[in-house]
Amino acid sequence: MEQELYPNNEGLTFRQMALEDIPDVMVIEHEAFTLPWTEEAFRNELTQNHFARYMIMQYLGQPVGYAGMWTVIDEAHVTNIAVLQAYRGRKWGERLLRELMKTASQLGMLRMTLEVRVSNDVAQNLYRKMGFKPAGLRKGYYSDNHEDAMIMWADLPERGSAYGSEEGSEAY
């Protein structure tokens, strides 16, 4: 049914996040996370952190998701990835992660890592589908409830291979 409702992800585009996107990102952030980042944190990421790369996923020109990573030497660390609740269930989180991984590869990154709540089976299943493998735990990582985080790693394809050239994406 999802395939019929959203053929070819028509109207879905990706672009680099800008300061003007922060209000929309804050809506997504507060809806998706129990420990949301602040506007100041995103402003600092976009203006002060030269390791940071953030992207916006838009549907018909409206931000519906975002993702971020830090790129250090040849490794990318996913900082956050979220899709508005109203747009979940369309496999757009997968598209967003695929776009982030493609961007990391284009930037010369060889591996990608992230932390995910041990209770977040939906996210873990997505990450496994995208090639991530568990590599350990960070005990008490989340300050709201001291839940453990699973550390996951994935190898990225060499620059210019795999992940294809998806329609509607921009280089960063």
Q: The whole model's pTM is what?
A: 0.85
Residue 37 lies in a domain: yes
User: Residue 137, SS3?
Assistant: strand
Concerning whether 127 is annotated as a catalytic residue, the answer is yes
Which residue in the list 127, 141, 158, 166 is annotated as catalytic? 127
Q: What is the CATH number of the domain that holds 109?
A: 3.40.630.30
Residue 3 lies in a domain: no
The parent domain of residue 59 ranges over: 12-155
The number of folded domains in the chain is 1
Residue 1 lies in a domain: no
Comparison of pLDDT for 87 and 3, the residue scoring more: 87
pLDDT tier, 112 (very low <50, low <70, confident <90, very high otherwise): very high
Residue 170 lies in a domain: no
Residue 162 lies in a domain: no
| 78 contacts 69 by C-beta, under 8 angstroms | yes
Which residue in the list 54, 99, 115, 163 is annotated as catalytic? 115
Cα 51 from Cα 56, distance rounded (Å):
17
Residue 171 lies in a domain: no
Concerning whether 115 is annotated as a catalytic residue, the answer is yes
> What is the pLDDT averaged over residues 38-57?
97
The first and second tokens of residue 81, run together, are 């990835």
Residue 40 lies in a domain: yes
| pLDDT digit string, tens, across residues 118-139 | 999 999 999 999 999 999 999 9
The first and second tokens of residue 168, run together, are 């509607």
| 57 contacts 67 by C-beta, under 8 angstroms | yes
User: Residue 171, SS3?
Assistant: coil
Q: Is the model's pLDDT at 2 over the cut of 70?
A: no
Residue 160 lies in a domain: no
